[in-house]
Amino acid sequence: MFESKSGILAIGGVGFFVFAYIVMGALPWTIYKDQPEKSILEVASEGIPHEFVDLAERFPAQFKEHFGEVSYESFAAALELGRDIYVGEACWHCHSQFIRPVSREDIRWGPIAHAREYNNELQRPVLFGTRRVGPDLSREAGRRSNDWHIAHFYEPTNVVAASVMPAYPWFFDEADVPNKRGMAIIAYVQWLGSWLDEYPYYEEAPKAPKLDDDASSTEVADHGHDREQEEI
C-alpha cells in the first residue's frame, strides 16, 4: 500500500485532514479555551454602529415602537433578533461568514477571519457557510448604506440586476417602512465586521461612542446627527 500511488495519495489526504483539524480546530481551542464567551449585551456594549443610530433617526416612530431608545440594551435586542431571522430565513445557505486565507479573499471581502471574532453568543452556531451564491458577509458593516439594504431586502434586483436572492416583503409594513424584523436584520448585517479597526470601509465615520454608565441614549443619537452635519 505504501509503495503504490493510491496508497501515497490516501495517506497524504488523511495527513492533510489531520493537519487542517489541528491548525483550524485544536490549536485555536487551546489558545482561547480559557477566555469567557461574551454575551450579546457585552458585544453590543463595545460600541453602537452609526447605522443603528441612523435607523432610529430615519424611522423614529417605528424604531421607538419596536426597540425604544438607542441604547446597549436595544442594540443587543436587535442583534439577537436579527441573527435569529438570518438563521431562520436561511441566509447562511448562500452567504458565508468566514474569510479564508485563499484565493485573495481578503481583497474581495476584507481581513482574513480570526478565531477571536467568534467567541460570543451571536456566533452560536458559527455561520461559516460552504457556498458563495452571494458575497461573504463577514465584513459587510459600513460597506453599504441602510438605504441600500432596505432596497435590497424589498426587491433585490432593484439594486443588483442579476441577483437570485428572493424578496422579503414581510420585513416591511404597509407603508414599505422596515418593521421590527426588517430593522433587526439590517442592524445585524450592519454589525458584521464593525468590530474591526478598518470599519467603516466606505467613509470615515467612527462608531457611536461607548456610553458611560450615566450617559443617556440621546447622546448616542446626537453623535450620528453631528456626523451628518459634517458631511453636508
Cβ-in-10-Å burial (0-12, 13-18, 19+) of 38 comes to: middle
Judge if 23 and 48 occupy the same domain.
Answer: no
Helix 50-58 / helix 180-191 crossing angle, nearest 10 deg? 160
Which pLDDT value is given to residue 110?
87
Judge if 72 and 156 occupy the same domain.
Answer: yes
Which pLDDT value is given to residue 115?
83
**112-135 pLDDT tens trace:** 998 889 989 999 988 988 788 999
Choose between 221 and 149: higher pLDDT. Answer: 149
Which pLDDT value is given to residue 95?
95
DSSP 198: T
Tell me what percent of the residues of the chain surpass a pLDDT of 70: 84
Q: 185 by DSSP, 3-state: which?
A: helix
Judge if 175 and 219 occupy the same domain.
Answer: yes
Judge if 8 and 64 occupy the same domain.
Answer: no
- Would you say residue 202 has pLDDT above 60? no
Q: Residue 25: which domain range? A: 1-34
Report how far residue 128's alpha carbon sits from residue 161's, in angstroms, rounded to the nearest whole number: 26
pTM: 0.78
Which pLDDT value is given to residue 33?
79
Report which of 37, 189, 21 is spatially closest to residue 116, judged by C-alpha positions: 37
Mean pLDDT score of the chain, rounded to an integer? 86
Report which of 182, 155, 141 is spatially closest to residue 51, judged by C-alpha positions: 141
Judge if 11 and 98 occupy the same domain.
Answer: no
CATH number of the CATH domain containing 152: 1.10.760.10
Choose between 225 and 94: higher pLDDT. Answer: 94
Report how far residue 92's alpha carbon sits from residue 33's, in angstroms, rounded to the nearest whole number: 26
Which pLDDT value is given to residue 150?
97
Judge if 134 and 201 occupy the same domain.
Answer: yes
Domains: count for the chain: 2
Judge if 29 and 62 occupy the same domain.
Answer: no
End-to-end alpha-carbon separation of the chain, Å? 72
Q: Is 114 left (phi over 0), alpha (psi -120 to 50) or beta?
A: beta
**20-78 pLDDT tens trace:** 889 878 887 888 778 889 999 999 999 999 999 999 999 999 999 999 999 999 999 99
Q: 223 by DSSP, 3-state: which?
A: helix
- Would you say residue 229 has pLDDT above 50? no
Note whether 99 and 136 are within 8 A (CB). yes
Judge if 115 and 163 occupy the same domain.
Answer: yes
